[in-house]
Amino acid sequence: MQNLDNLKVSEGDRNPVPLEKKRNGLGAKAIIIVIILSLIFGIVGGGAGVALLLTKGGSFLQRYLDLDEPALPAAVSEKLRLEESSKIIDAVEKVKPSVVSIVSTKEVPGFFTQTTTQQNSGSGFIITNDGLIMTNKHVVSDSNATYTVFTNDGRNFEAKVQSLDPFNDLAVIKIEAKDLPVVELGDSDQLRIGQYVLAIGNALGEFQNTVTLGILSAKERNIEASGGNGLSEALEGLLQTDAAINSGNSGGPLVNLEGQVVGVNVAVASQAENIGFAIPSNLIKTAIESINQNNGKIVRPYIGVRYVSLTPEISKNNNLPVDYGAYIYSNNLALPAVVTDSPAAKAGLKQGDIIIAINDENIEVGNSLTRLIQKYQPGDEIEITYLREGNENKAKLILASTN
């Protein structure tokens, strides 16, 4: 599980709105009821009956005076709770058979000539009945490790890494099996803040298919996630949830109450309590489409630049003319800002240029260059708008393929 250091998450103030105090005394509605009751009890026993209702039976009148605040019968309340619990149980039973645990194993040097066995764990879920499994890239990125998949029915299989997503923390691995249960993918664009979600995975690498319940706390979160290898990765457009996500949950599904996978659990804030993140399912769908179209590979379009996403603070500190866009830059001679023979190089882009729009759609916070490019396919022609020495320029280029 990747950790987030120094992550600050703000939440708007939630001020309770006081309920209007109930008016004391009897209003017009009460007076009418009293008159009616007086007539009734006058027939059967005189006004003493009304007095009895007003003194000992105030709760009787109150039921009529508070028609706008009906009490929920206990039986109805209990039924709602049971129905809610039933939906959670049904969702878990629908998805759980498709959730797997992934264990990586490799030999590492020890003292003298000894070696030790190192194991790490993650999660995943089955996307095809012949053995394709979606997980996080950081779960299966060690080329020196071997990977074993443990299915919910107790079987285990050797797994091979089939494809790593070049821009997102997604990967697909393959096991040799048939007739496997497959998850149903939901539409992450339709998610609403506050709805229930479930996280399922191999918690702590010890507790297979652990289920936790929470709500969807936010959408469109951008974070810088760091792993145990000291490397960090920018992740954009994530779902945030307070469903408990622990080490070993990486790659497992985030699920709605319909039993549909709406995300891939990817990171947790180490300095906070119950702040976790997931890659939305609609990004998973584009990866699966690429797999189907490119012989099992996740292929993404690219233009071939390294860049810094501008913010007002970065622009002010570097005296840049705009506070949004992608500033083409690299301080590593081995990794040039503009990749040789790339679409960007052929279009004449240089280090120091600022790409501000793709097909007239501005590059800004939450809408980065990489995210905009991924709306298209390799081979598509796009128009980029960029600034050079303060002057606006346009250029057309054809997107290349990452593989």
Beta strand 361-362 with 391-398 is unpaired
Q: 244 with 230: CB under 8 angstroms?
A: no
250 in catalytic set: yes
Exactly one of 169, 242, 281, 368 is catalytic; which is it? 169
Q: Is 136 exposed, middle or buried (0-12, 13-18, 19+ CB in 10 A)?
A: buried
Exactly one of 123, 138, 165, 217 is catalytic; which is it? 138
CA distance 173 to 177: 12
Tokens of 121: 């764990």
169 in catalytic set: yes
CA distance 128 to 133: 7
Exactly one of 98, 123, 188, 250 is catalytic; which is it? 250
290 in catalytic set: no
- CA-based R_g, the chain, Å: 30
Which positions are catalytic?
138, 169, 250
